[in-house]
Structure 1
Amino acid sequence: MHIEPPFIAHTHEVFNQSNPLEGYNSYRGDSALQALVRHHGAGWAEAELDAHGARCGSAEVYEWGFQANAHKPQFASHDRQGHRVDLVRYHESYHRLMALGLEAGLHSKPWTDPGPGAHVARAAQYYLQAQVESGHGCPLTMTFASVPSLRLTPNIGEAWLPKILNRAYDPRNVPHTEKQALTIGMGMTEKQGGSDVRANTTRATPLAAGGPGELYELVGHKWFTSAPMCDAFLVLAQAPGGLSCFLVPRWCEDGSKNPIQVQRLKDKMGNVSNASSEIELRGALGWMIGDEGRGVPAIIEMVSMTRFDCMIGSSAAQRQGVAQAVNHAAGRAAFGNTLIDQPLMRNVLADLQLEVEGSLALTLRMGEALDKSLAPGGNEHEKLLLRLGLPTGKYWICKRTPLHTYEAMECLGGNGVTEDFIMARLYRDAPINAIWEGSGNVQALDMLRALSRSPETLETWFVELATTRGDDPRLDAAVQNLQAEFADLDDVEYRARQIVDQLALTLQASLLLRAGNAAVADAFIASRFGGSFQRNFGGLPRGLDIDTLIERANPHS
């Protein structure tokens, strides 16, 4: 017999709560991404991007992200019998995310299938997956980025690249000789050096004659080695001829364990699904990559690509943040009106979307530059554009993301700061890309270094900006101000951040003009170069097409 509970048990019903943002297609719901994919020559990839967007927007894959972060990696130095194993165990959801990315070729497609739009298409697909969870992106990125460095030494590249480029995932703790699919990590940072890798103290001694592709013994430490279960690592060490780059496998060719010993895992504020470790190299064997004494140029081939992926990942975090904010605002009412219909909230949401528009435009333009510069014969303009564009984009986009994520989180109110919602994780993860692969100061100084070593890079930048000269007087004035900055070289290092800010904003504005959406370009230029531009979002001037911006921000549009 059914017994009605007493009236006092009926305290309330749940209403005025937005539905979770899941079960949608994150590519189909992103008109800005679709337009830029076509604009930068990757329209041929739309069917695959659409399929990946449906997968990444599913409730199942979102849950993988939550579970991979709820269950941090666990480290065991020894097995139960006392043998040294240096084993890091991950939650099954982390492995599922890794398999999703590797099987999609996020680590390999532009290398195995190069051509017009290849890097753009891969960047767009990575952008979709990074919105779900960022930690697993670290080994995906490092594996992808290792390819140019490994190609510097043909005998090593020929032996390792077929398995590295294989679109499969094998997380087993077994020698690389027993696997058909491998992942690659990187070890540069040491306690005493940080970004100053020339201060590294790890030593490499040749076992025979030495030189490119030859075997060395490494003794030393690394203060930050992420994804320590990768099958091998690109490592910097001091060889007799100077700082050099080495490929150091976790297992030796004979199947014995290479003495790479994990000391502990870092207890990080964010990026927690990805293990980051301190390691000791106790006579570890590794092959020299590139020439002896040329370790920085060798590994910078990898670092350039990891910086590009930092741009993608931070742009993805911005997109996920504004999508969550709009989804919440559309399903929540306050003070008599739905949040998304309230003027001040619309100002905030539109401004957040403008940041995404600029970040994505700059990122995919660099993807196009990669495609053109790596094509047979290369393209000198595109190579020079990358030399300035990668540090500029990495600095600006990654630097803007924590503030952007905080503002998007605030749109959700109290829900935004609880771990049940993705915004809390996005906020904890947001500073990571700005710090890793060279912090803000390193990027700004790298910009100045590029100009001092190759002054033609600055001319290339202004040639790029000249494509929209005369299209908008406000942008023209901003470009003139930028030129004036470079005309005055006094205290240029002190002013480096101010200069790189202007480099980024002027190119973003020019790219948005070229992309063809007048409402977006006008709003970006009016807000970023007008007198009202400020650090807080939600200060857009009057007279802009806010409706268009909100529609482009809406993941359900």
Structure 2
Amino acid sequence: MSVKDEFLTHEVLNQPLPLPAYNAWSSDRVLQEAVQREGGGWAAERLSRHGAICGGPLMELGEQANAHKPVLHSFDRYGRRIDAVEFHPAYHDVMRHSMAAQVHSFSWNHADQEGAHVVRAALSYLSGQAEAGTGCPLTMTHAAVPVLHRNPRLAQIWLPKVLGSDYDPRSLPVGQKIACTIGMGMTEKQGGTDVRANTTRAIAQADGSYEIVGHKFFFSAPMCDAHLVLAQTETGLSCFLLPRVLDDGSLNAVRIQRLKDKLGDWSNASSEVEFQGATAYLVGGEGRGVATILEMVALTRLDCAVGSAAGMRQALVQALHHTSQRSVFGKPLVQQPLMRNVLADLALESEAATTLAMRIARAVDRAPHDEHESALARLVTAVGKYWICKRAPVFVNEAQECLGGIGYVEENILPRLYRQAPLNSIWEGSGNVQCLDVLRALRREPEVRDALFAELYRVRGESAALDQEAQWLDQVLNDAAALELRSRYIVERMALALQAALLLQAAPGNVASAFCQSRLAGAHGLAFGTLDASAPFDALIERAMPQL
């Protein structure tokens, strides 16, 4: 025996190989079907190209970008104020790939084609599986476009730099930039969600600009080229575009106080800032800030739902890959009965989340041209944002458990997905805000309620459980006295009913039936892995299995 053999303690056996590079689009049957069904199938080739990048080089870049958090440099070596945020090169590479794919602009560049928002949502879904933090500036840049149109002069300057396929991280005036990104600053220390409590002031200047004095407690992506911010004028809360760098090349008077030390979202910078007489330009009418910014929020909320569905899909991919290779008690984990229940249940939840997210995207896409879709979009954006984002953290945790201890170790992507999972339920309005927005839409606009039940009644008679659920919703929505108090419960059941109706129209019959039985008829526990023995375990797992 050699000295080397004497100290050889063991061989590494029964450990899965790392997930290889794969195409996140062509390996995902549910996503492909959803995009085709909702009107975006014409962009399949583009989605496949981006899917290959997202399942390949972006996975490694995402890991690097999150391993090296952004760093704030308030001053240069000579003491000059620079308020610069340094990102790891991998962050810039992810941004470059994503903007080349037009994750930030596809729907506007193809606005004349039906389904453009669906395609853009799918691009974001693919990117979010590899790296979610860059989704913040990409989402805000995308959502800022309709708001910028409210000021034609600003739109003429900024939109050509926003709608392209380039990425330009340099701190320069807009006129010298190849491409620009847009961030957002709404909330303040004293108000949070209640933006009408904002105290930041906007003082009109002789040249038509405004001087902004105040602060923002959450100022997302501070290195964006401009931010849409809310501030008080003499006539009320108003919306402004605030550039990072002024036309003369000087930094605007936005002082970054600190970067937020966040639970997750490590690749992206979020900050607290003070405005010390910063120059900004009115977007929309004075006193119309809330109405103006809500046009942006409607789109960012869609991305919250899409992003959470993306995280769920990637967690499921990891769980399926691991359990297909890891053996316990003589056979692969994926063949063990109880693990099959867990995996099938996760697959069912993921399919429902993806299906609803892409349906919301179609409603947003068709809203300008279709009264039903417009009314539906006002409802399901909040419903989907609430429910899909609520389901993500517990979903990712269950996927971690499928991997055992290694699912809790930072060498694996699951801890990053788990840290990221709660973000979308908080960003752009917490769960309570979404539920109140649902009630507000139902109360103020009868057509919204009509749109909801039109969707549920499309499949009337196909599931007794869904028919009963629709009847219950119809009754409970008439009980005005208890609506707000019970709104979480009501919106949850509304989301499940919508998912059931969509799956009955789109998914294989046994998949839709399993969802209705487990989520509506009570044949399910409070944890994943509690499907009834009659559930189609083989079909659910096979349908979700990534085609590597």
Q: Give the one of 18, 34, 37 matched to 2:35.
A: 37
Q: Does 1:312 align with 2:306?
A: yes
| 1:485-508 superposed Cα distances (whole Å, 9 cap, x missing partner) | 112222211100011001101111
Q: Give the one of 209, 212, 217 matched to 1:218.
A: 212
Q: Does 1:164 align with 2:158?
A: no
Pairs within 5 Å for 1:432-511? 432-511=423-502
Between 241-250 and 485-494, the greater mean CA deviation after superposition:
485-494
Secondary structure of 1:470 counterpart: coil
Amino acid at match of 2:509: A
Contact (CA 8 Å) 2:47, 2:122: kept in 1 or not? yes
Amino acid at match of 2:486: R
Secondary structure of 1:314 counterpart: helix
CA distance in 1, matches of 2:231, 2:347: 44
Q: Give the one of 258, 275, 279 matched to 2:269.
A: 275
User: RMSD across aligned C-alpha pairs, in angstroms?
Assistant: 1.2
| 1:245-304 superposed Cα distances (whole Å, 9 cap, x missing partner) | 000001112222110010000111100110000000000010000010000010111111
CA distance in 2, matches of 1:492, 1:544: 34
1:81 maps to 78
TM-score by length of 2: 0.98
Q: Give the one of 92, 99, 110 matched to 1:102.
A: 99
1:174 maps to 172
Contact (CA 8 Å) 1:217, 1:286: kept in 2 or not? yes
Between 484-493 and 298-307, the greater mean CA deviation after superposition:
484-493
1:127 maps to 125
Q: CA deviation at 1:533?
A: 3.0
Contact (CA 8 Å) 1:64, 1:94: kept in 2 or not? yes
CA distance in 1, matches of 2:302, 2:189: 25
2:233 maps to 239
CA distance in 1, matches of 2:465, 2:77: 68
Contact (CA 8 Å) 2:465, 2:516: kept in 1 or not? yes
2:359 maps to 365
Secondary structure of 1:166 counterpart: coil
Q: Does 1:523 align with 2:514?
A: yes
Aligned length: 547
Q: Does 1:402 align with 2:393?
A: yes
Secondary structure of 2:83 counterpart: strand
1:421 maps to 412
Contact (CA 8 Å) 1:117, 1:371: kept in 2 or not? yes
Q: Give the one of 190, 193, 200 matched to 2:191.
A: 193
Amino acid at match of 1:11: T
Contact (CA 8 Å) 2:23, 2:54: kept in 1 or not? yes
Q: Give the one of 276, 296, 301 matched to 2:290.
A: 296
Amino acid at match of 2:59: Y
Q: CA deviation at 1:427?
A: 0.4
CA distance in 1, matches of 2:48, 2:121: 14
Secondary structure of 1:482 counterpart: helix
Between 362-371 and 287-296, the greater mean CA deviation after superposition:
362-371
CA distance in 1, matches of 2:217, 2:507: 46
| 1:441-483 superposed Cα distances (whole Å, 9 cap, x missing partner) | 0101111111222122111110111111111112111111111
CA distance in 2, matches of 1:483, 1:242: 38
Amino acid at match of 1:399: K
CA distance in 1, matches of 2:17, 2:191: 48
Q: Does 1:155 align with 2:153?
A: yes
Q: Does 1:333 align with 2:327?
A: yes
2:339 maps to 345
CA distance in 2, matches of 1:228, 1:327: 37
Q: CA deviation at 1:6?
A: 4.1
Between 322-331 and 9-18, the greater mean CA deviation after superposition:
9-18
Amino acid at match of 1:533: H
Amino acid at match of 1:509: A
Contact (CA 8 Å) 2:367, 2:375: kept in 1 or not? no
Q: CA deviation at 1:192?
A: 0.4
Q: CA deviation at 1:4?
A: 3.8
CA distance in 2, matches of 1:62, 1:388: 34
Amino acid at match of 2:414: M
Contact (CA 8 Å) 1:33, 1:360: kept in 2 or not? yes
1:139 maps to 137
Contact (CA 8 Å) 1:204, 1:239: kept in 2 or not? yes
Unmatched runs of 5 consecutive residues or more in structure 1:
none
Between 80-89 and 456-465, the greater mean CA deviation after superposition:
456-465
Contact (CA 8 Å) 2:352, 2:499: kept in 1 or not? yes
Aligned-pair identity (%): 53
Contact (CA 8 Å) 1:22, 1:62: kept in 2 or not? no
Secondary structure of 1:415 counterpart: helix
Q: CA deviation at 1:28?
A: 1.2
Q: Give the one of 373, 378, 389 matched to 1:382.
A: 373
Q: CA deviation at 1:516?
A: 4.1
Between 386-395 and 467-476, the greater mean CA deviation after superposition:
467-476
Pairs within 5 Å for 1:530-549? 530-549=521-540
Contact (CA 8 Å) 1:142, 1:306: kept in 2 or not? yes
CA distance in 2, matches of 1:37, 1:84: 47
Amino acid at match of 1:83: R
Q: CA deviation at 1:556?
A: 2.6
Q: CA deviation at 1:24?
A: 1.2
CA distance in 2, matches of 1:414, 1:175: 49
Secondary structure of 1:125 counterpart: helix
Contact (CA 8 Å) 2:136, 2:220: kept in 1 or not? yes
Unmatched runs of 5 consecutive residues or more in structure 2:
none
